[in-house]
């Protein structure tokens, strides 16, 4: 497997929960809605797994768009999972969307459980991306697809002034510290050959793969 710089912290730290959630809330219509439409296209029924679900807006939008699908969202951060449950209740979809804590490289689900696996903005955060892709493949039904996008267009999509205005003074301070931290420790960036090596380590057929600068889009089908 190609070597990559492992992130110092895996997952969003507890302290950043509300700071991240507030940014996500601003891009529900512009980002999660269209993304949910892409991922659920050609899937009228079944169960989707969303890895690194954050505050759950992608599963919620998928449940809204596709009334016969169910979604399970998994994240390392318990605070975000609690927000996701609350957001699903408020959106009236909590009977079809379930959220739980878990590690994307070691899922508790049986082999061949899901019709589709998706993930937005998690890949650059994980320590072992090849293990994550192998887990995606294991939990997918044969012919099922993994739709993986990285990074999520949250920070780049949210209106910065509206976002800063929504933060409390403490959250603003946390945001500034995190901003400084990411300048010192920039997020992980994969090269094309690293992506190819990760994909080759799992039993997938590539349906679509594009790597443009930092942006990765992949649709992989289990054989």
Ligand X SMILES: C[S@@+](CC[C@H](N)C(=O)[O-])C[C@H]1O[C@@H](n2cnc3c(N)ncnc32)[C@H](O)[C@@H]1O
Residues forming contacts to ligand X in the complex (CB under 6 A) are 10-12, 24, 51-54, 58, 74-77, 80, 103-105, 120-122, 125-126, 152, 154
Distance CA 190, CA 213 (A): 9
Distance CA 14, CA 71 (A): 24
Q: Count CA atoms within 13 Å of residue 129 on its CB side.
A: 27
- Which CB atom, from 104 or from 195, has the smaller least distance to ligand X? 104
- Which CB atom, from 171 or from 223, has the smaller least distance to ligand X? 171
Shortest Å distance, C-beta 10 to ligand X: 5
- Which CB atom, from 29 or from 142, has the smaller least distance to ligand X? 29
Cα–Cα separations (whole angstroms), residue 78 to 48, 51, 210: 20, 14, 32
Shortest Å distance, C-beta 185 to ligand X: 15
Shortest Å distance, C-beta 77 to ligand X: 4
- Which CB atom, from 87 or from 94, has the smaller least distance to ligand X? 87
Shortest Å distance, C-beta 58 to ligand X: 6
Give the CA-trace dihedral at 200, 205, 211, 217, to 10 degrees: -120
**Which strands make up the sheet holding 114-120, listed edge to edge?**
97-101, 69-75, 46-51, 114-120, 140-150, 215-222, 204-212
């Amino acid at each position: 497997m190609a070597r990559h710089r492992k992130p110092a912290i895996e997952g969003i730290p507890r302290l950043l929960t509300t700071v991240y959630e507030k940014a996500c809330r601003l891009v529900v219509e512009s980002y999660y809605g269209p993304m949910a439409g892409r991922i659920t296209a050609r899937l009228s029924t079944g169960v989707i797994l969303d890895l690194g679900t954050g505050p759950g807006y992608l599963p919620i939008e998928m449940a809204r768009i596709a009334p016969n699908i169910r979604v399970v969202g998994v994240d390392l951060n318990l605070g975000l999972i609690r927000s996701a449950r609350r957001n699903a209740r408020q959106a009236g979809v909590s009977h079809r969307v379930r959220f739980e804590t878990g590690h994307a490289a070691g899922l508790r689900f049986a082999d061949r459980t899901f019709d589709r696996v998706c993930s937005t903005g998690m890949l650059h955060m994980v320590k072992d991306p090849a293990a994550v892709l192998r887990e995606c493949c294991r939990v997918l039904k044969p012919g099922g697809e993994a739709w993986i996008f990285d990074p999520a267009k949250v920070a780049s999509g949210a209106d910065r002034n509206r976002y800063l205005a929504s933060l409390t003074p403490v959250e603003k301070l946390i945001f500034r510290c995190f901003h400084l931290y990411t300048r010192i420790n920039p997020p992980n960036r994969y090269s094309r050959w690293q992506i190819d090596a990760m994909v080759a380590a799992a039993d997938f057929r590539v349906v679509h793969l594009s790597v443009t600068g930092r942006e990765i889009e992949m649709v992989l089908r289990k054989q």
